[in-house]
Structures are given as structure tokens and as C-alpha cells.
């Protein structure tokens, strides 16, 4: 059994490498696509509308993907190929209509891929190795994020938008090829869902444990807070040095999360993991707010490192907890989670952008992350009360 688990983890590490390449392309694309939209239209509202279209597509896709039969490998490969084709079309035939269609494909493709991958991990590596596997994914995604953001500032000015889009397309194809070649089990047929009560269909929220529902609420509030600091960051300090320091220290923190998680999250989702998730969200919110208080560089590095560490730990704990659900609920729960996160981020970006016209960045970030802090704190108190009783 141990030998089988180790082999699964080694195979999964190869998949993580492919996913990291895809993450690199995705974050390169986020920068290139927003710059290209501005270059094409010269209008801030249109640029925001294209981003909103992408988020809306991700939100709606989350409602669909959880109900699709579990052909998870096919869903992941199809999502990568569809996104690669979309980027090739945009590189060859740039235009506003094509750009809007690409935004829809990218939003939906990312949601379909993420939900299918997270749902399949217990089958790929075994249920006892899922926390370790999630840690590898967080580490790989962090590397892809940093490299994608960093390369965008070099590649787009040097080679142009079409080359950046083609590089992004190639990164998706690398991930799809890795998935197609690896002999990883992505899951068989699911068990029949719980029978609905007479007169209607049982709501997913009623089927989920109350702790998982609470974690979903906290996750939505966290997405709201994350949107605020993403919008406020270039206004707070519009210098490349500050932004680079901010995201590099955050990425180093998320790198470290896997090593910390391997020590305390071995149970894979009991009440201790739920409380650690809530506490980590509180720490992350406080750290992000502190980063906007005008700290000197050493202080900024420290608090953004802590924010990244807490971000990585909560991601690992949250995903591992949802993966502990029965197979017939797991995909639907991840689909709902994708919608909650995309919806929270979209609302947060829209409201934060309006609020920043009136209030200072620290005030806006404090209010939004304060919402996440209060929500996570309430969930933490509720979890402790239920544990005592």
C-alpha cells in the first residue's frame, strides 16, 4: 500500500509540473489580456466589462460542472484544449467580438478544469495523501503565478501580444499532454445521490455538513477581501518595486505553506482543520490590511510573507476538507465553491473600484478584509461552541 501511494505521488508530481506550466500561462495571460483590452478599446469601462465577463462565465460554469458525469480527465483535457484554441484564434484574429468570446471560454475553462482536478485528487493519490497533493499544487501554482506575472512585463513589450497569447496556448497544451500521458486514476462512476424528499429536489446546501457550508461562506468573504487588495494595490503604490516586493513575498509564503501543512494537517479535514482554516483566514485578512499601512520594506516583506503563508495553508485545508466529502457530493461542492469564489471576487472588484473613488486604499482594504475577518471569526467561535457541546 505504501509503495502504491508513493508511486501515485510521484506521478502526481509530474502532473503538478504540467499544471504549473499552465498556471504560468494563465497569469501571463491575465496581464497580457487586460493590457490588450485597454490597447484595443482605450476605455477603462470596456476593460472592466471584459474582466467581469470572464468572472461571470466562471460563476455560471460552477453551477454546471458539478452536475456533469465524472469524466474528469476528459473535462480537464477538453478545458485546456478549448482555452489553447481560444488564445490561438485571438492571436490570429484580434478584435473586440473575439476578445469577448475568449473571455467567456477562459472563465469557463478555468472553472471546469479546477473543479475536475480538485474532485479527482483523492482518486489520483489516495484519500490519505490528498493534503500532501494539495500542498504540491499550491506550491506549483505559486511558482507559475510569480513567473507569469514577471514574464508578462518583459514578453509583451519585447514580442507583442500575439506571441504572449501563443505562449499561453502552448502552456495549456503542455498541461493537456501531461494529463493524457499519465496513468492516473481520475475516478469512476459516482454513487447515486441522496433521494430528494417528496415534492422537490434536495438542495445541495442541505446535503452538506454544516461546517462545510460555513467554510463556503468564509471562502466567499475571503474572495471579497482579496478583490479589494488587488484593485487597491496599484493605487496605493503605483511603483513596480512595491508591487514586485508585495507579490514576491506573498509567493514565498505560499511556497512555505506546503511544508507547514505537512506537519499539522495530516488528518485531512476534522474539526481541527476547520478551525485552522478559519484562524488562517483571520491572520491573512489582518496581514493584508497591515500591508497597506505604509510599512518600511522589511515590514512589508514580513506581513506579505505571513499573508502568503496563511493563504496557502487555508487553501490546502479548505480543498482537503471538501475532498473528504462523499464522491457524489464532492464535484457539486467544488462547483458551488467555484461560483462562490468567482461571485465574491467579481462583486468585490466592482464595489472596491467604486469605493476607491471616495476612500483611501487602506480604508477600502480594511473594510473588505474586515468583513472576511468577522465572518471567519464568527465561524471559528461557532466551531468551538459546537465542539464543546
Cβ neighbours of 377 (radius 10 Å): 16
286-310 per-position pLDDT tens digit: 999 999 999 999 999 999 999 999 9
Pair 211, 91 in one domain: no
Q: Is the pLDDT confidence value at 200 over 50? A: no
364 is a domain residue: yes
Q: Mean pLDDT over residues 178-206, rounded?
A: 65
Q: Mean pLDDT over residues 227-241, rounded?
A: 80
41-96 per-position pLDDT tens digit: 777 667 778 888 888 999 999 888 877 766 788 999 999 999 999 999 999 998 88
161-183 per-position pLDDT tens digit: 889 899 999 999 999 999 999 88
The pLDDT of residue 189 is 52
pLDDT range class, residue 239, cuts 50, 70, 90: low
Pair 257, 120 in one domain: no
Number of domains in the chain: 2
Q: Is the pLDDT confidence value at 192 over 80? A: no
198 is a domain residue: no
Cell numbers linked to 15 = 502532473
348-388 per-position pLDDT tens digit: 988 988 898 899 999 999 999 999 999 999 999 988 777 76
Pair 112, 137 in one domain: yes
Mark which of 188, 212, 227 sits at the end of a domain.
188
Mark which of 140, 161, 188 sits at the end of a domain.
188
Pair 221, 315 in one domain: yes
242-297 per-position pLDDT tens digit: 877 887 788 888 888 877 776 664 544 444 578 889 999 999 999 999 999 999 99
Closest CA to 121 of 336, 339, 316: 316
Q: Is the pLDDT confidence value at 1 over 60? A: no
- Which domain covers residue 308, as residue numbers? 203-389
The pLDDT of residue 65 is 80
Pair 183, 321 in one domain: no
367-378 per-position pLDDT tens digit: 999 999 999 999
Pair 167, 246 in one domain: no
From CA 184, how far away is CA 34, in angstroms rounded?
A: 36
Closest CA to 184 of 2, 3, 4, 1: 4
Pair 165, 267 in one domain: no
Q: CATH code at 270?
A: 1.20.1250.20
Amino acid at each position: 500500500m505504501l509503495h502504491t501511494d508513493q508511486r501515485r505521488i510521484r506521478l502526481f508530481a509530474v502532473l503538478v509540473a504540467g499544471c504549473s506550466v499552465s498556471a504560468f500561462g494563465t497569469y501571463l495571460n491575465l496581464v497580457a489580456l487586460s493590457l490588450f483590452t485597454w490597447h484595443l478599446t482605450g476605455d477603462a469601462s470596456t476593460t472592466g466589462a471584459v474582466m467581469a465577463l470572464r468572472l461571470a462565465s466562471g460563476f455560471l460554469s460552477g453551477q454546471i460542472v458539478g452536475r456533469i458525469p465524472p469524466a474528469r480527465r476528459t473535462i480537464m483535457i477538453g478545458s485546456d484544449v478549448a482555452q489553447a484554441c481560444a488564445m490561438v484564434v485571438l492571436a490570429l484574429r484580434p478584435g473586440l467580438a473575439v476578445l469577448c468570446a475568449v473571455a467567456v471560454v477562459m472563465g469557463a475553462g478555468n472553472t471546469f478544469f479546477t473543479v475536475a482536478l480538485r474532485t479527482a485528487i483523492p482518486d489520483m493519490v489516495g484519500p490519505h495523501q490528498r493534503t500532501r497533493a494539495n500542498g504540491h499544487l499550491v506550491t506549483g501554482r505559486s511558482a507559475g503565478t510569480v513567473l507569469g506575472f514577471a514574464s508578462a512585463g518583459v514578453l509583451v513589450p519585447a514580442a507583442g501580444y500575439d506571441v504572449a497569447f501563443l505562449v499561453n496556448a502552448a502552456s495549456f497544451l503542455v498541461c493537456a499532454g501531461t494529463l493524457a500521458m499519465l496513468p492516473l486514476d481520475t475516478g469512476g462512476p459516482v454513487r447515486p445521490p441522496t433521494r430528494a424528499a417528496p415534492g422537490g429536489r434536495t438542495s445541495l446546501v442541505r446535503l452538506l455538513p454544516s461546517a462545510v457550508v460555513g467554510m463556503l461562506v468564509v471562502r466567499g468573504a475571503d474572495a471579497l477581501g482579496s478583490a479589494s487588495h488587488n484593485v487597491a494595490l496599484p493605487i496605493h503604490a503605483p511603483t513596480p518595486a512595491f508591487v514586485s516586493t508585495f507579490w514576491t513575498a506573498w509567493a514565498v509564503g505560499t511556497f512555505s505553506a506546503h511544508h507547514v501543512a505537512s506537519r499539522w494537517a495530516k488528518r485531512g479535514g476534522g474539526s481541527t482543520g476547520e478551525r485552522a482554516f478559519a484562524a488562517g483566514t483571520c491572520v491573512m485578512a489582518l496581514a493584508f490590511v497591515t500591508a497597506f499601512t505604509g510599512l518600511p520594506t522589511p515590514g512589508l516583506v514580513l506581513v506579505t510573507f505571513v499573508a502568503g503563508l496563511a493563504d496557502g495553508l487555508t487553501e490546502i485545508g479548505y480543498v482537503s476538507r471538501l475532498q473528504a466529502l462523499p464522491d457524489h457530493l464532492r464535484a457539486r461542492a467544488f462547483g458551488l465553491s467555484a461560483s462562490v469564489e468567482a461571485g465574491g471576487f467579481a462583486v468585490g472588484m466592482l464595489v472596491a473600484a467604486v469605493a476607491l473613488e471616495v476612500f483611501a486604499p487602506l480604508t477600502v482594504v480594511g473594510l473588505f478584509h474586515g468583513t472576511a475577518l468577522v465572518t471567519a471569526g464568527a465561524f471559528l467561535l461557532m466551531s468551538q461552541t459546537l465542539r464543546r457541546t
